[in-house]
Structure 1
């Protein structure tokens, strides 16, 4: 029984004087730090990979999505292998029982998998037409779409803080997307006028797909007892199929001409690796942290992306409206996670 004193309980890998609470805190902030690093690095690296000057054909976004799905499947398989104490027989039995022998459960993942594949391709399109900072802030609209789908699909009720945060979020995104000031250089104005609309549409569709697929996936997880890693493998398998279809439907001629891995270099493989690890990092954050701290990580990532986009990529000039909009988006991110205690309606099963 708790007696008000700190008790030290030794566990695997823990030494004398290390409490379980301390280990949990370390895992929490480690996962949050990884999320900040992964999100910021992915956005900036993806943007750089789509705008860098290179000899020969540019790499295909559709093929990068397929490679990322393969890496995610491989990573999740290794995690399940570890859970089964590195027994090949136990791994094979787990995969057979949970995936092959439960076809209906596996088929449920076709919808979110197809949507996630579409979303991943849209992110490449968005970062080909928007600077990294504008993309990062605008993509926070997924908070709004996730909230709306949670209310409609899960029967979730949002408190006054959450609804207020959504209004602040909308205002911030409008300010961020406001036309560039005429004092900026003509090159940046022409670039914005010619391509920003395409990037904005791609981000908005990605926000819709992210909200729906995320809530649908959450609903599936709550209705079954299968592990997150098994579900991610199921997602990856269907994502692989949808991704390959996308490659040969949209880029089939280019693949036949220059190959599936055309234009790949170290930067491209870095993007693929970061995208593949993204789902694993988010899973760790959900396990060890909470929504408030996750909001901190998202907000820090936005700030870092803006600064690095300005100083390193040199493709972004911050304006007063952008600064005001970013502050509002960051405020909304914090507010949305503040004291969030959703109530699920009793008539939802």
Structure 2
């Protein structure tokens, strides 16, 4: 399979995996964030730390395995080349004794090969770790890796801005302003990645936003759930419960401040995703990129955990973590890898289209589970999303 065909398969595979994963992840998040009989819920920032730490371990393990395999293969190739280059030189006496010469030649060949094999084994034992360490150092201490610091910081800002906006906007306002991330993603894709988008692409993105808002607004009006959204390094949203629904303070400044905060979060989401897409496609290996992305995000993720521990004068890292919460963490780790694959082999715009499909799927599946009938507005919004996808594909 050539590279172009392989990339095409990975592109549609990653998009195909992202849709069902997001659907089931969202439903699992709704189950995991329910409080227990005493009204206790898990500490959201601590869950984010476990998510980033899990991504770090998974990516680091995959990187070590890849580099070790490459080092062993290089050593085997070099050893094989040295054996192929060996040409025994027969000796001739004044009166040729061809049988003796042939036996001596074979014996000298066997001895030389035995010595060479012994030397190869010793050399391999000495250089195997050195070769691996050199390759590992070249990738880990690559200066290009530090380019992942800006998108990691952007996701931290996105996290805080979304938390702030959730306290000043109603769920409907939050969903409407949040859809601006589609437009910002497209804008940064044009400015940074030099992606060419015609008017049909822009129209499809606008229709997608309207359709998604239509479906989500009806759903949020049917089921009112107070929640905070926390961004992970993969660009996914991590739903984290609060003990009660947030009280929205409707002062004359609340709408303006909340809207500005959500717009800032959308800008951070679009810019961070495009920067990661650029690095995944050009600079670093896929797994190495995820190592640094998780590491650079893990450090700021620890700040609210330590701040809460100091404020409470106690530290309970596993308090109120149920099986559903651990399943949510595991799914987020897997989802981060899927999202990275999508950004590497597809792009952020297609990723947002896939997420829009998954959001609609979540709404319909939730309606079936909860027993809420699907409204005409939801059907209309779904039709808009389907039309937007078809229009973008044909543009």
Q: Same fold (TM over 0.5)?
A: yes
From 66, 70, 74, the equivalent of 2:53 is 70
Q: Distance in 1 between matches of 2:30 and 2:161?
A: 13
Q: Distance in 1 between matches of 2:262 and 2:132?
A: 38
Q: Distance in 2 between matches of 1:263 and 1:138?
A: 33
SS in 2 for 1:264: coil
SS in 1 for 2:314: helix
Closer, same or farther: CA 180–214 of 1 in aligned 2, 3 Å? closer
* Structure 2 residue aligned with 1:5: none
Maintained 8 Å contact 2:182/2:352: no
CA apart distance, 1:35: 1.6
* Structure 2 residue aligned with 1:217: 276
2:304 equivalent to 1:263: no
Maintained 8 Å contact 1:67/1:272: yes
* Structure 1 residue aligned with 2:154: 115
Closer, same or farther: CA 219–65 of 1 in aligned 2, 3 Å? same
2:98 equivalent to 1:57: no
CA apart distance, 1:270: 1.3
SS in 1 for 2:318: coil
1:124-145 deviation digits (Å, cap 9, x = unpaired): 89999998x9999986543222
2:381 equivalent to 1:325: yes
SS in 2 for 1:312: helix
> TM-score scaled by structure 1?
0.69
* Structure 1 residue aligned with 2:29: 46
1:68-124 deviation digits (Å, cap 9, x = unpaired): 111111111222233234579465444422223x3x423322211122244467778
> TM-score scaled by structure 2?
0.62
Tell me, which stretches of 5 or more residues in structure 2 are unaligned?
A: 72-127, 227-243
Maintained 8 Å contact 2:166/2:174: yes
Maintained 8 Å contact 1:141/1:169: no
Q: Aligned pairs, how many?
A: 311
From 128, 141, 149, the equivalent of 2:188 is 149
* Structure 1 residue aligned with 2:137: 96
Closer, same or farther: CA 216–294 of 1 in aligned 2, 3 Å? closer
Maintained 8 Å contact 2:151/2:275: yes
2:281 equivalent to 1:242: no
* Structure 2 residue aligned with 1:14: none
Q: Distance in 1 between matches of 2:177 and 2:30?
A: 15
* Structure 1 residue aligned with 2:338: 281
* Structure 2 residue aligned with 1:343: none
CA apart distance, 1:152: 3.0
SS in 1 for 2:321: coil
CA apart distance, 1:155: 3.8
From 141, 164, 187, the equivalent of 2:203 is 164
Maintained 8 Å contact 1:61/1:121: no
* Structure 2 residue aligned with 1:252: 309
CA apart distance, 1:168: 1.5
Q: Distance in 2 between matches of 1:254 and 1:330?
A: 49
Maintained 8 Å contact 2:176/2:213: no
Closer, same or farther: CA 334–266 of 1 in aligned 2, 3 Å? farther
Maintained 8 Å contact 1:153/1:215: yes
